Amino acid sequence: MSDSANRSAQNAWVSRVLDVETMADRLVGSVARARASEQWAAARETVLATLKDLETSIRAMNDPLGDDAIILIRAIAANLTAAPHTPQQIDELKRYLQNDTIIDDAESDNGFGIKVEIRGPLMSALLAMERSMA
C-alpha cells in the first residue's frame, strides 16, 4: 500500500474511531468551502448581470411606471449577500429565495426576451455552501 493510501486510511480511522478531525479533514473542508464560495460568487454575478440587463431594458421604455419595477429589481440585488459566511446568513438567503414573491415576479416572462433565473443557480450554490460547512 502506498504512503498516500496508508495516510488516508489512518486519517479515516482516527476520524471514525476517535471522532477527531484530522488536518486532512480540515484541508478538505476548507477546499470545499472555497469552491462553494466561488460557486456562490459566480452564480450571484450572473444573476446580478441578468437583473441589470432587465433594468436597462425597463429604463429604455421611458415609462414612469417602470420605476417601480426597477426599485424591485434593485431590492433583489441588494438582498443577495456578496459572501455569506455563516449558517445563519445561508438560512436567511434560502428563506428569501424560497419565500419572497418578488423572486417569482422577477423570474416570470417579462416581454423583453430576458430569461431571469434566480432561485435555481443561487439555491444550488447555497446548498453547496451548506454542505461544505457540515
**pLDDT value of residue 11:** 65
| pTM recorded for the entire structure | 0.76
Cα 49 to Cα 69: distance, rounded to the nearest angstrom:
16
Cα–Cα–Cα angle for 31, 34, 36, nearest 5°?
110
The letter for the amino acid at 99 is N
Query: Which tens digits make up the pLDDT trace of 44-69?
Result: 999 999 999 999 999 999 998 999 99
Distances (CA, A) of 83 to 34, 69, 86, 89: 11, 26, 9, 9
- Give residue limits of the domains in the chain: 35-133
Cα 121 to Cα 85: distance, rounded to the nearest angstrom:
18
**pLDDT value of residue 20:** 62
**pLDDT value of residue 108:** 95
DSSP 9-73: HHHHHHHHHH----HHHHHHHHHHHHHHHHHHHHHHHHHHHHHHHHHHHHHHTT-TTHHHHHHHH
Asked if pLDDT for residue 19 goes beyond 90, the answer is no
Q: Per-residue pLDDT averaged across 38-45, rounded?
A: 96
Q: Taking a C-beta distance cutoff of 8 angstroms, is the pair 115, 83 a contact?
A: no
Q: Provide the Cα torsion 120, 76, 82, 91; round to 10°.
A: -60
Asked if pLDDT for residue 23 goes beyond 80, the answer is no
**pLDDT value of residue 16:** 65
Cα 113 to Cα 62: distance, rounded to the nearest angstrom:
18
